[in-house]
Amino acid sequence: MTIDFATLAPEGIRGLQPYQPGKPVEELQRELGLTDVVKLASNENPLGASPRVREAVAAATEFERYPDGSAWVLKEQLSEHLHVPQDQLTIGNGSNDVLELLGRVFLRPGTEAIVSEHAFVVYPLVTIAVGATLTPIPARDFGQDLDATLAAIGESTRCVFIANPNNPTGTWLAESALRPFLDTVPPDVIVVLDEAYCEYVQEDGYPDGVALTRDYPNLVVTRTFSKAYGLAALRVGYSISNPVIADLMNRIRQPFNVNALALAAASAALSDQDHVRRSVAVNAEGLAYLARECERLGLGYIPSVGNFLTIDMGQDAAPLYEALLRKGVIVRPIGGYGLPNHLRVTVGLADENERLIAALETVLGAGAGPADSQG
């Protein structure tokens, strides 16, 4: 008897497509035989982790013991850094883990989550996987339309996902817009404010989500060590919420969901805010350079406050993406986000940004035809 095992899975899971990460450097090297590759696809910190992180990881030698399942040391540091009690914190294997916990706690068949067009793909994945209804709303200027979000909330709505800044567009919401929205959202609707890129934002009026949780019990803020702290490989994220929500999430959180090396690294990273400030300064300079070069090349772009720039190629971006790969430059195509003419580019170091622009100028001039096989 032949069993179609897919039919044994919930319908929502059967309809999902796996998350597609940015192409790894090693994969492109294998495929094209390149030796000189620049990756500007996954919004990683080009400075890497703080030297303190490397020291902390090198000093961690007790591999036979399970990690602290409560992440007490990291929670204590976060509590002091954010000025929140420890019982409001949930630690995850990256902020994606925390987003999934929220979906499992609050969403189920018959409930609904609202997301914005062009929003982070994990929100739909979490929603559909648990059998809840996904309601996307049209974007406004490539970002979250709060008025349309409010209008979409109904009796079955349990979660609203908002990224601030938004990935992949880099748009952001001011506190002057977010507070009236939160004032109006029904108290039994959980608002998830994803602040993965918050450390990079230098705009006046950008809200501090953690401070907002003191006024809105239904607000959950998620953050990560993967971006400005440079720990993408180690997977550490966290959320700040009222203690009841944190308790519910911790009830279903997997034991030892963050490993000991990651906990030590996050603790060391948090203690080195000078490294974060250097990372933010390098990003601001690189972001301004990329914007200027896009203007010089006649390319449109979405103004960004994150560590990436989404560029309008004015044509189907897929051939340009492939041509850049042949030049040894990895960026991110975002047709899956409803932006087939755009490429998302991570801000790198100065020489990496210059390498990208030179490659982009070449492939645009060549009409995205066959390019050199070496970068």
Give the span between the Cα atoms of 103 and 128, in whole angstroms.
9
Which contiguous run of DSSP H or E holds residue 329? strand 329-330
CB-based contacts of 82: which residues, under 8 Å, 6+ apart? 210, 240
Residue ranges, CATH 3.90.1150.10, the chain: 5-48+274-365
Give the span between the Cα atoms of 331 and 352, in whole angstroms.
12
What percent of the chain is predicted at pLDDT more than 70? 96
Q: What is the pLDDT of residue 366?
A: 63
- Amino acid identity of residue 334, one-letter, is I
Which of 31-45, 141-155, 193-207 is predicted least confidently?
31-45
**For the whole model, what pTM was predicted?**
0.91
CB-based contacts of 171: which residues, under 8 Å, 6+ apart? 141, 142, 143, 144, 165, 302, 303, 304, 305
Token output for 97: 């883990």
Residue ranges, CATH 3.40.640.10, the chain: 51-271
Token output for 91: 């630690």
Give the span between the Cα atoms of 136 and 20, in whole angstroms.
20
If one compares 288 and 33, the residue with the highest pLDDT of the two is: 288
CATH architecture of 5-48+274-365: Alpha-Beta Complex (3.90)
Residue 131 backbone class (left: φ over 0; alpha: ψ -120 to 50; beta: rest): left
From residue 10, give the alpha-carbon distance in Å to each of 64, 123, 128, 157.
37, 18, 10, 21
Instruction: Inform me whether the pLDDT recorded for 369 exceeds 50.
Output: no
From residue 13, give the alpha-carbon distance in Å to each of 6, 113, 128, 132.
9, 16, 7, 11
What percent of the chain is predicted at pLDDT more than 90? 85
Token output for 215: 């006024």
Q: Give backbone dihedrals phi and psi of 39, rounded to 5 degrees, phi first.
A: -105, 115
Token output for 138: 């049209």
For the stretch 240-279, pLDDT in tens is: 999 999 999 999 999 999 999 999 999 999 999 999 999 9
- Amino acid identity of residue 88, one-letter, is Q
Instruction: Inform me whether the pLDDT recorded for 21 exceeds 80.
Output: no
* Domain covering 51-271 in this structure, CATH number: 3.40.640.10
Give the span between the Cα atoms of 287 and 308, in whole angstroms.
7
From residue 365, give the alpha-carbon distance in Å to each of 11, 203, 274, 328.
47, 35, 41, 17
As a 3-state breakdown, the chain gives helix, strand, coil percent values, each rounded to 5, of 40, 15, 45
Instruction: Inform me whether the pLDDT recorded for 372 exceeds 60.
Output: no
For the stretch 47-92, pLDDT in tens is: 999 999 999 999 988 888 999 999 999 999 999 999 999 999 999 9
Bridge partner residues of 89 (DSSP): 240
